[in-house]
């Protein structure tokens, strides 16, 4: 209802829905959510011109000398905060000097999707958002009794956090997202909540809002929701597996083929070929932090498995590979983690997949082995980057992603990520002291 009312006039929507303030928001290159709080009385002007920001003050490749950055709200994205209904949230498109900002994550996803639509493809996605509920400072999980060696699906641990999980799920029900299950995940203190798949831009906007919502509701309960990929070294990290399919404008699933192997069409296998071809560069967006590489390529955790890939392979219904075909008509990319930018990850995935289709990239033979125990026997399979620096260098060399996502995005993102890596490298760790102090 909020979306329908907002399509033409946010001021009217505010009056009808009782909204007193709007959060006009955008996501920067590092996935941070930025916003201005605008009273409903001023929303008409903001809907036309946008809310002004200084781009350099956030993680965008800009300087203090650049002109004002304007976040122009997309009225169709309006979400009324269920836990604070006097506030409406809006995703925005970034504009500078009356032109769309080429490096802005939401703009990049929309542009990539338009390119796909020109070829007759509509991308639909669903995400599996894993997160930890910790104490307020994030130093330990919030539930001291959650200490089982194999805590996945632990009913008692789930119900001890019922009030938090229920409130988040109730919000999704109110918003009409179609949430269908919530569970305790493989690590102590870790949870996952699932809602229906949708058009990739809708899913991306909801992904952004879900992270904000989970954090806000956890704070209400004196807790912290963190999507950090690997907050605890001995526990399973938080992924954000992305399920994907391409559809026709008329609504037919183009990945589904009852005669295809595992029910996947030749188009779907071409898409997989593209993901395999660009996997190392993709990691710059699906695994965008220093911490990300403690989740992929990780040693075995307390529960017995990392549930994260370490090699560029695909399979059927087998969770030890980078790409899984869990059912007819869709594929699951298991690379992304909780830090993945909700817009850049699907944009890069779509760009790589389309390249695979257009260039008929062969994904190779499907592997059905347990990659955690027998992966060392596979010959010729590419390994994933060992760290963020390797991933950024792969991105810089990728003509596929540069061409599809644009040089402004690739160059700006790489520049800022190199700075992040250099800042990390200048950090002195306790490990270094423990191992080299007396050399």
**Rounded distance, CA 333 to CA 314, Å?**
9
**Rounded distance, CA 152 to CA 135, Å?**
20
Residue 429: CB partners within 8 Å, gap ≥ 6?
Answer: none
Q: If we measure between CA atoms, which residue out of 337, 349, 331, 359 comes closest to residue 401? A: 349
Residue 259: CB partners within 8 Å, gap ≥ 6?
Answer: none
6-56 per-position pLDDT tens digit = 556 999 999 999 999 999 999 999 999 999 999 999 999 999 999 999 999
pLDDT at 302: 83
Instruction: Tell me which residue has tokens 């290159």.
Output: 29
**Rounded distance, CA 298 to CA 281, Å?**
19
Crossing angle, helix 105-118 and helix 200-220, to 10 degrees?
150
CB half-sphere exposure, 72, CA atoms < 13 A: 13
Q: What is the mean pLDDT of residues 149-175?
A: 98
pLDDT at 3: 63
**Rounded distance, CA 307 to CA 319, Å?**
7
128 against 1, higher pLDDT: 128
**Rounded distance, CA 188 to CA 251, Å?**
40
User: How many other C-beta atoms are found inside a 10 Å radius of the C-beta of residue 74?
Assistant: 17
Instruction: Tell me which residue has tokens 């399920």.
Output: 243
375-397 per-position pLDDT tens digit = 989 998 999 999 999 999 999 99
The CA angle 292-342-33, to the nearest 5 degrees, is 95
**Rounded distance, CA 323 to CA 275, Å?**
9
The secondary structure element, H or E, covering residue 23 is strand 21-27
197-221 per-position pLDDT tens digit = 999 999 999 999 999 999 999 999 9
- SS3 of 283-306: HHHHCCCHHHHHCCCCCCCCCCCC
pLDDT at 7: 56
């Amino acid at each position: 209802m909020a979306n329908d009312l907002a399509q033409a006039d946010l001021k009217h929507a505010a009056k009808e829905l009782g909204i007193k303030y709007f959060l006009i928001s955008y996501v920067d290159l590092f996935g941070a959510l930025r916003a201005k709080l605008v009273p409903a009385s001023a929303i008409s002007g903001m809907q036309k011109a946008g809310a002004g920001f200084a781009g350099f003050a956030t993680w965008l490749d800009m300087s203090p000398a650049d002109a004002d950055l304007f976040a122009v709200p997309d009225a169709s994205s309006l979400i009324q905060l269920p836990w604070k209904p006097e506030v409406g949230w809006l995703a925005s498109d970034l504009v500078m000097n009356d032109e769309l900002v080429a490096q802005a994550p939401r703009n990049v996803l929309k542009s990539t999707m338009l390119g796909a639509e020109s070829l007759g493809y509509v991308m639909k996605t669903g995400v599996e958002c894993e997160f930890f509920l910790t104490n307020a400072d994030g130093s330990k999980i919030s539930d001291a009794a959650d200490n089982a060696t194999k805590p996945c699906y632990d009913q008692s641990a789930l119900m001890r956090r019922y009030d938090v999980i229920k409130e988040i799920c109730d919000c999704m029900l109110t918003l009409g997202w179609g949430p269908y299950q919530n569970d305790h995940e493989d690590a102590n203190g870790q949870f996952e909540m699932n809602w229906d798949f949708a058009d990739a831009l809708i899913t991306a906007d909801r992904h952004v809002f879900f992270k904000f919502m989970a954090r806000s509701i956890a704070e209400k309960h004196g807790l912290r929701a963190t999507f950090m990929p690997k907050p605890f070294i001995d526990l399973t990290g938080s992924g954000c597996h992305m399920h994907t399919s391409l559809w026709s404008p008329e609504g037919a699933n183009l990945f589904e083929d009852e005669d295809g192997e595992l029910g996947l069409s030749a188009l779907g296998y071409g898409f997989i070929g593209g993901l395999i071809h660009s996997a190392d560069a993709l990691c710059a967006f699906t695994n965008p932090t220093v911490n990300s590489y403690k989740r992929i390529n990780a040693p075995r955790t307390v529960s017995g498995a990392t549930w994260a890939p370490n090699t560029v392979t695909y399979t059927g219904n087998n969770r030890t590979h980078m790409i899984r075909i869990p059912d007819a008509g869709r594929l699951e990319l298991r690379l992304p983690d909780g830090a993945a930018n909700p817009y850049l990850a699907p944009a890069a995935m779509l760009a790589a997949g389309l390249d695979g289709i257009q260039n008929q990239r062969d994904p190779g033979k499907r592997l059905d082995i347990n990659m955690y125990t027998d992966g060392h026997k596979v010959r010729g399979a590419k390994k994933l980057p060992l760290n963020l620096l390797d991933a950024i260098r792969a991105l810089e060399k990728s003509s596929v992603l540069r061409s599809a996502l644009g040089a402004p995005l690739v160059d700006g993102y790489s520049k800022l990520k190199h700075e992040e890596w250099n800042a990390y490298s200048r950090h002195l760790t306790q490990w270094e002291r423990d191992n080299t102090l007396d050399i």
